[in-house]
Amino acid sequence: MSSIKIPKPEEMIRINYKPPETPWMDTPVDFRPGTWSYSGAAKNLVYLGMPNPRAWQPYEEDWKLPENWKEIILEGMRERLDKYRSFRLFMDICVRCGACADKCHFYIGGGDPKNMPVLRAELLRSVYRRYFTESGKRFGRLAGARELTVDVLKEWFYYFYQCTECRRCSVYCPYGIDQAEITIMGRELLNLVGCNINWVIEPVANCFRTGNHLGIQPGGIKDMLEFLAEDIEERTGVRVDVPINKKGADVLFVVPSGDYFADPGTYTCMGYMMLFHEIGLNYTFSTYASEGGNFGLFTSHEMVKRLNHKLYAEAKRLGVKWILGGECGHMWRVIHEYMDTMNGPADFLAEPVSPITGTLFENARSTKMVHIAEFTADLIKNGKLKLDPARNDHLRITFHDSCNPARAMGLLEEPRYVIKHAARYFYEMPEDTIREKTLCCGGGAGLGNDENIEMRMRGGMPRAMAVKHVREKHDVNRIACMCAIDRSTLSSLMDYWVPGVTVMGVHELLANALVMKGERERSTDLRGEPLKERTNDEAL
């Protein structure tokens, strides 16, 4: 965890919901340690050809903005209001009903009114009114309008980088206002004058240079996957193939790089490899499309498009039939919500049909990209896997619906179906914290860095409290999820709020239970932790 000192949980939980004495427009931002992220490093901006590369930090007085920064922002806003109908609509239609006000995890965990989604949007709307509406131009503050100043820009930076674009608030909005879209616009405008965070810009620059967020070179990817294959052999006695950049494979398999490079994602990656070996899937990893995640989503629409294109260019180059995607979160939002209009439809690929079961994945007809949870649930439904759920008896599991698979693609039943076939002790968290209403981990959208640690712990607190509930009620010791960011951020969140609960991917759980042909009797799970002893009645 970060070296920045943060309050202990018993202090953090005493949240002050009392709003400041001053009106919101007159309350300046306080960049206190632990609540903001470092600025984008100049070298990364230069690499990406982005404006105003320089050395600066958010807590400094002088942000070294270009002289005409105000014109740049207002012109950028005008362009986007013309281009994106949704943006103009979201600027106009909020009736301030307040239904979203207490739905954001950052407001729940921090008590800052500017983290109420309605007020977060007002930060941008107030400027929109001042420069783009008649009432705002004439009546100014009376009409909820305000001048664009450096302080307003700082406020945008602070609060648009305290929104994980999770879209929980949108579920409750009667008008369907999508706060994530507003945050994306806010960040996009900030980017025009070089105000961005390094935890987003560095992964994007790495992705352009090496194909993945972590900047791993092809040799490193190959070594890591082979290392995981050795681990699988050690645990199971089965040697799995590591197909890389294989032309003519049926399926290109794309994962977030966290899955093959960081624990506990590596166990999920071992799970994929074991599954594909067992069913004899003709697939390939790619060292070019070596990242399913798309941090462009946290930067600008243009960046999303450029990074998304890479996956399809590689599918074309390798001549695969279609793409299978691993347990990533925002990758799926890009694929399901933007891909078709940005780079699609992917007509050059074949219809996504499982070569094992013959199932056509209708929902992926246009994108030609299938989620691994759908693929595996279909295998189970068609009796293609031999599973021994008792091998997971040492785990008492709950499931965290990752924001994007849940809200951006409605993937609610498939992971539960897989979990229930792979394990016997599964407990849901309370209804208003799961499925479409799931609570964010607090570290998505590029906010999972160490310097922002207090906001992460505050933002993740509502999710952690729901885990605590099932820990106390059912002795839950493991939280499963389908997102690489979650696997990383939930780990520190659990250590802070609910010690004793660890994090795993769904395919790690599946692989623990997967009975492979030719395997030796397993005494440990994929992590090397001993399995629970069985009674005679429970022998497989």
**Chain residues in the site for ligand SF4 (CB under 6 A):** 94-100, 103-104, 106, 117-118, 120, 163-169, 172-173, 175, 177, 179-180, 183, 440
> Cβ of residue 34: shortest distance to ligand SF4, in angstroms?
18
- Residue 341 burial (C-beta neighbours within 10 Å; 0-12, 13-18, 19+): exposed
Cβ-contact 101, 118 below 8 angstroms:
yes
Nearer Cβ to ligand SF4 (166/490): 166
> Cβ of residue 439: shortest distance to ligand SF4, in angstroms?
9
> Which of 228, 198, 216, 219 is CA-nearest to residue 257?
216
> Cβ of residue 332: shortest distance to ligand SF4, in angstroms?
16
> Cβ of residue 107: shortest distance to ligand SF4, in angstroms?
7
- Residue 10 burial (C-beta neighbours within 10 Å; 0-12, 13-18, 19+): exposed
The DSSP annotation for 485-535 comes to HHHHHHHHHHHHHSTT-EEEEHHHHHHHHB--TTPPPP-B-TTSPBPPPPP
> Cβ of residue 300: shortest distance to ligand SF4, in angstroms?
17
Nearer Cβ to ligand SF4 (25/101): 101
Strands 502-505 and 322-325: unpaired
> Which of 467, 465, 441 is CA-nearest to residue 455?
441
Nearer Cβ to ligand SF4 (66/111): 111
> Which of 407, 396, 387, 410 is CA-nearest to residue 507?
387
Nearer Cβ to ligand SF4 (100/464): 100
Nearer Cβ to ligand SF4 (180/531): 180
Sign of CA dihedral 7, 10, 15, 20: negative
Q: Please tell me whether residue 317 adopts helix, strand or coil conformation.
A: helix
> Cβ of residue 90: shortest distance to ligand SF4, in angstroms?
8
Question: In Å, what is the CA distance from 151 to each residue of 37, 62, 68, 513?
Answer: 17, 11, 16, 55
Nearer Cβ to ligand SF4 (98/280): 98
Nearer Cβ to ligand SF4 (440/510): 440
> Cβ of residue 539: shortest distance to ligand SF4, in angstroms?
48
Nearer Cβ to ligand SF4 (181/378): 181
> Which of 459, 465, 504 is CA-nearest to residue 481?
504
Residue 104 tokens, joined = 């954001």
Q: What are the start-end ranges of the E strands in 260-394?
A: 283-284, 322-325, 369-371
> Cβ of residue 455: shortest distance to ligand SF4, in angstroms?
11
